[in-house]
Amino acid sequence: MIHPIPPGTRDVLPDEMRELRRLHTAMLDVFESRGYGQVATPAIEYDEVLARGDGRTSESAYRFFDERGDLLALRSDMTVPIARLVASRYAEAEPPLRLCYLANAYRAVRPQRGQMREFAQAGVELIGAAAPGGTAEVVEVLEAALDAAGLDRAVIGLGDADLFRQLLTELGVEGEARDSILARLATHDLVGLELELSQAGIGERDVATCVTLSQLRGGSEVLEEARSLGGTAVERATARLGETFEALEQRGAADRVQIDLGLLRDLGYYSGAILEVYDPALGHVLGGGGRYDRLLKRFGPDLPAAGFALYLERVHVAQMEEESRRTER
Amino acid sequence: MSVEVAGTASAKAEGPLKLAVPRGALLGETLDTLDAAGIDTAAVRGESRSLIFAGEEIVLVTMRPSDVPTYVEAGAADVGITGKDVLLEQPDRMVYELLDLGYGRCRMVLAGRVGDERLGESQRRLGMMRIATKYPRIAERHFEATGRQVEVIEVKGSVELAPLVGLADGIVDLVASGRTLAENGLEVREEIVECTARFVANRVAHKLRAKEVDDLTAQLRSAGQ
């Protein structure tokens, strides 16, 4: 008899579980050895509490009423629950706090796309350490985690979440036009971006600046290129990125970091540095993160923070691809 | 023994860049554009029934236009060329749209039978039009955005047939010259969107093979001018 399970969920059998367990242990060993203590939080929370972190409503795709009629939600990531945990459990603690997790999170799936409704994330949150030092520490831990997973070719994209928000403000683009431009940037639809920009009533030169900026990625030389395009927003963002990159260089952790001015993550709580992780063996992003200096305040303590999360199923796929690549050579 | 340089940000994926090339109506102009961009397409033009044509700097992988976003999203092809109609019909495929190539220009339209008021009449008296199409998502979005209720009927073959035999009141379809419509006694009632060929890239390839992707984009841009 076959009894179905919901699409986007899956059973794990012993062979896979053995490999996953090895991966889980490797991740947690890296985190713990760097002083990040593991925490767990409930998979279900009050919708109202998650919404505090995500904006007007929670990002959760799954909400339901409990026996008392309270609205509950399944978490869509671990960053918001940990912000909640820090505010409630560590109100008196001396920052910085170093926490890590290995947990399932839940998102909506689009039909027939092989997307996961339930997926495992491993990550860290460094709370109370400002940029650039805090960001650099998080990137360093991320690199160690990738090494521990055997993904020594993986690359970390480093961008700035505020660059385009501030640039558009500087250019006087507000409201709907601004939102649709940011949406085009997030999906990297350059044809649509150029169209939206020219409809927003800004000059040809500024349109070209925005498009060029979104394509700048590479080593620290792209910061020079960006600066030559001018403007206060660009100046501020490149200065932030430059400081972070320098801090990484001092730690010897800048080699696998690619500066990417076109990087934009769709989660609303990011500010300043944002991260994405790629491996040449896989066409999908392995994980991401960044700074969320304004998130903790929504729960109480006004603390700067940064973190990352790796999608463990994808890391596992990349591990297998890299292994078969090594044996083929 | 070769010593690997560990940890360079420009980690090179192996081999030449893989470009997904659309077979069908876009093939001719795509090959012309690639030629103009300095990419040898003689092998694809030949009699060979192969699907993959390996060059030194680029591998051409030929496929149905509607499969291009699937291959590029997964990274099975690093970059690709396909119609905007395909991208609009598959909006949740995460591919980067880098360039409007300008050719393959056609219009997505709503068409009905010449001199027949079925579309308006169904809308008024039944509150609902029946629309046959190969592009159900584009059709649904168009009518939703214009505040009209429709029943979208997805068909795979010649969509012009549907209003002629009473399956639907009208059709949403891609029109280049309009000849097929005219031959079947149909006419354009509304233009929905204009579509041209687009150059798209895989997210990770766009980051990790930045120079190759940017160079190819620039070559294609100047080839189109």
Look at residue A54 and tell me if it is in a domain: yes
Cis upstream peptide for A42 (omega within 30°): no
What pLDDT band is residue B118 in, cutting at 50, 70 and 90? confident
- The interface pTM score, or ipTM, of the predicted complex is 0.86
Which residues 6-65 of A are in CB contact (within 8 Å) with B? Answer: none
pLDDT of residue B13: 54
Give the whole-angstrom CA distance, residue A209 versus residue A199. Answer: 15
Q: Are residues A59 and A149 in the same domain?
A: yes
Q: Does the distance separating the beta carbons of B11 and A218 come in below 8 Å?
A: no
The answer to whether residues A310 and A145 touch, using CB atoms and an 8 Å cutoff, is yes
- Establish if A198 touches chain B: CB-CB under 8 angstroms: no
Q: How far is B217 from B199, CA to CA, in rounded Å? A: 8
- Measure A284 CA to nearest chain B CA, in Å: 6
Chain A residues within an 8 Å CB radius of B214: 215
Query: If you search the block for the tokens 């005219």, which residue do you land on?
Result: B182
pLDDT band of residue B70 (cuts 50, 70, 90) is: very high
From chain B, the residues in CB contact with A195 under 8 A are none
Interface of B with A (CB under 8 A): 6-14, 73-76, 92, 94, 96-100, 198, 202-208, 210, 214
Please tell me whether residues A209 and A324 are part of one structural domain: no
User: Is B202 in Cβ contact with A188 (below 8 Å)?
Assistant: no
* A178 shares a domain with A115: no
Tell me if B214 and A155 make a contact (CB, 8 A cut-off): no
Judge whether A26 lies within some domain.
yes
pLDDT number for residue A111? 62
Of the partner residues B92, B96, B207, the one whose CB lies closest to the CB of residue A155: B207
Do B197 and B104 contact (CB within 8 A), yes or no?
yes
Peptide bond into A96 cis (omega under 30): yes
Q: Are residues A63 and A181 in the same domain?
A: no
C-alpha distance from B6 to closest chain A C-alpha (Å): 7
Chain B contact present for A324, CB below 8 A: no
CATH of the domain at A282: 3.30.930.10
- Residue A232 domain-assigned? no
Residues of B in contact with A249 (CB under 8 A): none
Closest-CA residue in chain A for B205?
A283
Verify whether the Cβ–Cβ distance B75 to A191 is below 8 Å.
no
Judging contacts by C-beta atoms under 8 Å, the chain B residues touching residue A257 are 9
Alpha-carbon gap, residue A302 to A321, rounded angstroms: 42
A174 and A282 in a single domain? The answer is: no
Cα–Cα separations (whole angstroms), residue A291 to A49, A123, A215: 20, 13, 22
Indicate the residue type of B33: T
Closest partner residue to B92 (CB to CB) among A113, A280, A282 is A113
Q: Is the pLDDT of residue B6 over 60?
A: no
What domain range is A77 assigned to?
A: 14-153+271-328
A140, A176: one domain: no
CB contact under 8 A, A189 and B96: yes
Residues A19 and A113 in one domain: yes
**Confidence band for B132, pLDDT divided at 50, 70 and 90:** very high
Q: Tell me, yes or no, if the two domains B17-105+196-223 and B106-194 fold the same way.
A: yes
Same domain (yes/no): A202, A278: no
CA torsion sign, B77 to B81 to B86 to B91? positive
Name the phi and psi angles at B112, rounded to 5. -135, 175
Which of A110, A191, A286 is the best substitution to test chain B (most B C-beta atoms within 10 A)? A191
**A291 domain-assigned:** yes
pLDDT, mean of residues B12-36 = 90
Q: Compare all CA atoms of chain B with the CA of A253 and give the residue at the minimum distance.
A: B7
Total domains in the fold of chain A = 2
Q: What is the pLDDT of residue A112?
A: 61
From A208's Cα to the closest Cα of chain B, the distance in A is 14
- CA dist., res. B99 & res. B175, Å (int): 22
What DSSP element (H or E) covers B62?
strand B58-63
> What average pLDDT score do residues B111-133 get?
90
Contact yes or no for B11 and A188 at CB 8 A: no
Q: Are residues A96 and A149 in the same domain?
A: yes
pLDDT at A155: 97
According to CATH, the topology of domain B17-105+196-223 is D-Maltodextrin-Binding Protein; domain 2 (3.40.190)
- Count of other CB atoms within 10 angstroms of residue B114: 11
* Pair A149, A27 in one domain: yes
> Residue B116 — pLDDT band, cuts 50, 70, 90?
confident
Mean pLDDT by 10 residues, chain A (329 residues): 91 96 98 98 95 78 94 95 96 95 91 80 97 96 97 96 92 91 90 92 90 93 92 92 96 95 81 94 93 94 97 94 84
Q: Averaged over B121-146, what is the pLDDT?
A: 93
B3: pLDDT strictly greater than 60: no
Q: Residues A65, A105: one domain?
A: yes
Domain ranges for chain B, please list them: 17-105+196-223, 106-194
Instruction: Give the integer Cα–Cα distance in Å for B218 and B225.
Output: 11
The answer to whether B208 contacts A155, with C-beta atoms less than 8 Å apart, is yes
Residue A124 lies in a domain: yes
Is B106-194 CATH 3.40.190.10? yes
If one compares A323 and B199, the residue with the highest pLDDT of the two is: B199
- CA–CA distance from B31 to each of A176, B19, B21 (Å)? 39, 12, 8
For A281, name the nearest residue in chain B, comparing CA atoms only. Answer: B13
Q: In chain B, what residues touch A155 (CB-CB under 8 Å)?
A: 9, 11, 207-208
Q: What angle do CA A82, A84, A86 make, to 5 degrees?
A: 70
Cβ pair B11:A280 closer than 8 A: yes
- How confident is the model at residue A231, as a pLDDT? 85
* A residues 55-84 lying closer than 8 A (beta carbon) to B: none
Average pLDDT across chain B, whole number: 90
- The whole-number pLDDT of residue B12 equals 41
When CB atoms are compared, the residue of B74, B97, B205 closest to A190 is: B97
Same domain, yes or no: A126 and A181: no
**pLDDT tens digit sequence for B86-105:** 999 999 899 999 999 999 99
d(CA A156, CA A255): 9
**Residue-level pLDDT at B1:** 34
